[in-house]
Each structure stands twice: as C-alpha cells, then as structure tokens.
Amino acid sequence: MEQGRRRFLRSSGGLIGALVAAGFIGIDEVRAEAWNAAAFESKDLDQLIRNLGGSGAKATDAIEIVAPDIAENGAVVPIGVASKVEATEAIAIVVERNPNPLAALFTIPPGTLPALQTRVKMAETCNVVVLIKAAGEFQYAAKEIKVTIGGCGG
C-alpha cells in the first residue's frame, strides 16, 4: 500500500512538472495557495474581508447554512452552504473562534451552482459565518454551532 502511494506521488509530481514545461498550466496555478495566504492568516472577519479585497459586508437571507445546532465532535463538523446571491464568485466559511478563522475558501466558476458541502474543525462553540463574494461585494450569514468535544487541540 505504501509503495503504491509513493509511486502515485512521484508520478503526479512528474505529471505536474511536464504540464508546466509544456505550457498547459502556469507555475502560478501550481502555487495557487500563495495568493490567499493572507486571507487564511486573518484573525477576524473584518481583516479577512480586507485581505480578500473588500471594505465591508452586509447581512443577507440569501445564504442558506445547513449545519447541526450541536456538534458532538468539534473535529468533524458538517457544513452545507447554498447561495441565492446572483453571480456568486466565491464562498468562504469562517469559524469565529478558531485560531485561524478562515476554514475554507471556494472559487465558484461562472455558470456553476453556488452550493457545497464540507467538514470543518471547530475549537469551541461559536458562530460559523458564510461569506459570499458576488459582483465584487461581500454578503454574509451566520449560524451558532455548539461544540461539546473540542476539535482544534481540544
């Protein structure tokens, strides 16, 4: 099993290198995580919005958050998000009291249904904020989730 995994990683690295060399993908695409490093290092919602290029956000009812009211294990909390905001470009999931609040950031290609499901870690009971970027503006909705067993070092 371990040899198969190593072989896959070696061949994947070679494939990515070949695609870059052939010009099919750019080196910037390989280093895509670098462009949003500041966002993932943000310590609060206002700083996150600024790091994503905004100046503020307004509350909206056009974002649906599907998540449990009580999470029995903060290490694995299921979150579902659906945006009814016209021309949604990006969806961010923010866990307010985590050491690094930005849990996930998704780019939504044009023409794609802006809905997703994922799992996040939660350090403690707090609001989970879903931030939507649409037409260059930010909107948000929030839901409090109670955590009974810690997930981020708890």
How many degrees, rounded to 5, is the angle at CA 69 between CA 47 and CA 50?
10
Q: Are residues 55 and 75 in the same domain?
A: yes
DSSP state of 148: S
Q: Are residues 57 and 25 in the same domain?
A: no
Q: Are residues 91 and 118 in the same domain?
A: yes
Query: Where in the sequence is the domain holding 97, given as residue range(s)?
Result: 44-147
Q: Are residues 17 and 50 in the same domain?
A: no
Tell me the sheet residues that pair with 131. 92, 140
Residue 153, in any domain of the structure? no
Q: Are residues 91 and 116 in the same domain?
A: yes
Counting the structural domains of the chain, the total is: 2
pLDDT tens across 61-74, in order? 999 999 999 998 89
- The residue with greater pLDDT, 2 or 153, is 2
The first and second tokens of residue 89, run together, are 């470009």
CA distances from 141 to 5, 43, 76, 121, 131 (A): 40, 18, 21, 19, 7
Q: pTM of the full predicted structure?
A: 0.74
